[in-house]
Amino acid sequence: ETGVTQTPRHLVMGMTNKKSLKCEQHLGHNAMYWYKQSAKKPLELMFVYNFKEQTENNSVPSRFSPECPNSSHLFLHLHTLQPEDSALYLCASSQVPSPNPYEQYFGPGTRLTVT
């Protein structure tokens, strides 16, 4: 595997379910990110992890719970979601600091539908 992978690619869940999204990066990076992409809205940064430590929580509701056990893996645990949480969830990674700062590499995303 190369680059940034995400599983599952598609997920349908009820409002009372608990599920997790997984992201893995094979680039040797030390920072990882979760973004939410809703229809007709800009990509929204949700969480940032540097060296496994969360450094950014962009006012995300507590029904989204991130976990970063090591610098290669990032999870997003979901529980009691709302229909408006249906979106494409993108994971990204980068190297900080870097001679090429701010360059983030994205995974293919998980298309989440909450019913």
Name the residues that contact another protein, by CB under 8 A. Answer: 31, 40-43, 45, 48, 50-51, 53, 55-56, 88, 90, 92, 94, 96-97, 100-109, 111
Instruction: Give whichever of 18 and 38 is closer to another protein, judged by the CB atom.
Output: 38
Closest to another protein by CB, 60 vs 88, is 88
Q: Work out how close the CB of 5 gets to another protein at its nearest, in angstroms, rounded to a whole number.
A: 10
Residues 6+ apart with CB under 8 A from 29: 71, 93, 94, 95, 105
Count CA atoms within 13 Å of residue 69 on its CB side.
Answer: 7
CB 73 → another protein: shortest distance, Å? 18
